[in-house]
Amino acid sequence: QIVAESVNAKITGKAALDVVMFAGSGTTSAVQLLLDCLGISNNNNHYMDNDDDDPQKKKKNNNSRPVVFVGPYEHHSNLLPWRESGAEIVSIPENPMTQTIDYEKMKEILQSDQYGYDSITGQATRFRMGTFTAASNVDGKVANVKRIASLLHQYSALAFFDYATG
């Protein structure tokens, strides 16, 4: 409980659903453990098997791929394992005026059926998650974790945050 509070695990107001995961040293091992727990480890590269000339098969493969939303400040340790897993990586851009995540663009992307959201039912049609750095170890920018998590949850996506800032 104390550890969870110290890393803002209750920040979304849904503490019973939040988890703090310790995974050795650094982001790489944490992301790999998360991939394994979610069942989308890099052994599941069948998502990327688009060599087939059949357009229906390609579409089916793409529609079954998990979608991972990432911020503009993600470091290699957070991105590479997701890429290797075969998940579709969708980058949320920075708002040049505020120099933070572009929340309007994020909302637009999260609502898109292209990335597995059915606006009629309000449900996900693909496994969706966001993985964001809580604070950049490059420039010190601190993410608005509560706002990001709320948007992800509002549009049927899980929220993961990297607190391995040095």
Q: Is residue 17 part of a domain?
A: no
**Which is nearest to 123 in space by CA: 88, 159, 155?**
155
Q: Are 131 and 162 in contact (CB under 8 A)?
A: yes
Q: Is residue 5 part of a domain?
A: no
User: Residue 30 belongs to what domain range?
Assistant: 24-162
Q: Is residue 118 part of a domain?
A: yes
Give the pLDDT of residue 139.
79
Percentage of residues of the chain with pLDDT beyond 90: 41
Q: Is residue 4 part of a domain?
A: no
> Strands 94-95 and 100-101, how do they pair?
antiparallel
Give the pLDDT of residue 131.
94
CATH number of the domain encompassing residue 85: 3.40.640.10
Q: Is residue 6 part of a domain?
A: no
Give the pLDDT of residue 6.
47
Beta-bridge mates of residue 158: 129
Structure confidence by residue, pLDDT tens digits, 127-147 = 999 999 888 777 788 899 999
Q: Is residue 54 part of a domain?
A: yes
Q: Is residue 8 part of a domain?
A: no
What's the domain count of the chain?
1
Q: Is residue 144 part of a domain?
A: yes
**How much is the average pLDDT of 110-118?**
95
Comparing 47-56, 84-93, 110-119, 157-166, which segment has the lowest mean pLDDT?
A: 47-56
Q: Given a cut of 80, is residue 62 above it in pLDDT? A: no
DSSP-H helix ranges across the chain: 2-6, 26-38, 55-64, 76-85, 103-110, 145-154
Q: pTM for this one?
A: 0.79
Give the pLDDT of residue 1.
44
Number of DSSP helices (H) and strands (E) in the chain, helices first: 6, 8
